[in-house]
Amino acid sequence: MPFGRLERTERPKPMGEINMTPLIDVMLVLLVIFMIAAPLMTSSLRLDLPKSEAATPSDAPKFVAVTMSPDGAIYLGEDKVDTAAFQRRIKTLAQGNPQLEVQLRADKAVPYGQVAELIGWVQGAGLSKIAFVAEAKP
């Protein structure tokens, strides 16, 4: 009566190497995703800037970006600040560097009175170089 083979065969040995190809593929996909997403994350605030024929980029070595959104919110750099915090921070920036340039980005929908008030705060802090950022006309 045949029962089959009774001898034991050796099991396959575990693989001691990592297959790098899937890991490299995943890393390349992540790299492409970050390359596409990075430029989109530079400016999270969308503004409708006024258009001007004289709009040229400034080459100021040291500047601070001040933005006024359509709802009147003030951003110092990328940080949203209220008026009291803005006045304090702009005063400390002016004391640190009185030659600092302020690049003002104000949406077209912001009333002129609010822009003028913000300019007064900046000048009151001791900064006199104010650049108005606009889009170039096509």
138 residues of the chain, pLDDT tens digit each: 556 666 677 777 877 787 888 899 999 999 999 988 887 766 565 655 666 665 555 555 688 888 898 888 889 888 888 989 989 998 988 888 888 888 888 888 888 888 889 989 988 888 888 888 777 777
Determine the Cα–Cα distance for residues 121 and 94; give it in Å rounded to an integer. 11
The pLDDT assigned to 42 comes to 62
116 burial (CB, 10 Å; 0-12 / 13-18 / 19+) is exposed
Residue type, 130: I
The pLDDT assigned to 16 comes to 77
CB of 127 within 8 A of CB of 94? yes
- Among left, alpha and beta (phi > 0; psi -120 to 50; other), residue 35 is alpha
The alpha carbon dihedral of 115, 54, 100, 98 has a sign of negative
Domain 51-136, CATH: 3.30.420.270
How much is the pTM?
A: 0.57
Determine the Cα–Cα distance for residues 97 and 104; give it in Å rounded to an integer. 17
The pLDDT assigned to 15 comes to 77
- Write down the domain spans for the chain: 51-136
**40-48 long-range Cβ contacts below 8 angstroms, 24+ apart:** 44/78, 45/69, 45/75, 47/105, 47/106, 47/107, 48/107, 48/108, 48/109
